[in-house]
A and B are shown apart, each in its own frame.
Chain A
Amino acid sequence: MANYSTNDFKGGLKIMLDNDPHSIVSNEFVKPGKGQAFARTKVRNLKTGRVVERTFKSNESVESADVMDTQMQYLYSDGEYWHFMDPASYEQLQADATAVGDAAQWLIAESLCDVTLYNGQPLAVTPPNFVEMVITETDPGLRGDTATGGTKPAHFETGAVVKVPLFIEEGEKIRIDTRSGDYVSRVK
Chain B
Amino acid sequence: MSAAAQADWGPGATLATLRRAADIRRRIRTHFDATGALEVITPVLSRSAGPEPSIEPFDTRATAIDGHHWLQTSPEFAMKRLIAAHGQDVWQLAPVFRRAERGQRHNAEFQLLEWYRVGCELTGLMADVAALLTRVVGEVAPFDHAPITRRYGSCVREVSGHWPESLGVSDIRDLFARAGRHFPDGIADHEHDAALDLLFDTFVLPRLPVDRPTFVTGYPPSQASLARCTIDEDGRRVASRFELYAGTLELANGFHELTDADEQRRRFAEQLAMRQAACQPLPPQDEFFLAALRAGLPDCSGVALGVDRLVMLACGLDTLDQAMTFADERC
Contacts and interface: CB of A to CB of B under 8 A. Distances in A.
Interface of A: 7, 28-38, 52-60
Contact of A35 (B104, B182, B193): B193
16 contacts: A28-B103, A29-B104, A29-B105, A32-B250, A33-B306, A34-B54, A34-B223, A34-B225, A35-B194, A36-B54, A36-B197, A52-B182, A56-B186, A57-B184, A57-B186, A58-B100
Given A7-B100, A35-B193, A36-B197, 15 more contacts: A30-B198, A30-B201, A31-B101, A34-B54, A34-B223, A35-B223, A36-B54, A36-B191, A36-B194, A37-B54, A55-B183, A55-B198, A56-B186, A59-B100, A60-B185
A29 B103 contact: yes
B229 to A, nearest CB: 15
Contacts of B304: 33
B75 to A, nearest CB: 15
Contacts of A57: 184, 186-187, 194
Given A55-B183, A60-B186, A36 B250 contact: no
Q: Indicate the size class of the contact surface on chain B.
A: 20 to 34
B162 interface: no
Contacts of B100: 7, 37, 58-59
A34 B200 CA distance: 13
Given A7-B100, A37-B100, A58-B100, A32 B182 contact: no
A34 B194 CA distance: 10
Contacts of A7: 100
Ordered nearest first, which 5 A-B pairs have the shortest CB separation? A29-B103, A57-B186, A36-B194, A35-B197, A60-B186
B325 interface: no
Contacts of A34: 52, 54-55, 223, 225, 253
Interface of B: 52, 54-55, 100-106, 181-187, 191, 193-194, 197-198, 200-201, 223, 225, 243, 250, 253, 304, 306
Nearest to B56: A37
Contacts of B106: 29, 31
Contacts of B104: 28-29
Contact of A55 (B102, B182, B200, B225): B182
Nearest to B103: A29
Contacts of A31: 54, 101, 103, 106
B253 A38 contact: no
A53 B181 contact: yes
A29 B201 CA distance: 12
Given A56-B184, A57-B186, A32 B101 contact: no
A32 B197 contact: yes
A37 B182 contact: no
Contacts of B306: 33
B193 A36 contact: yes
A32 B187 contact: no
A58 B56 CA distance: 12
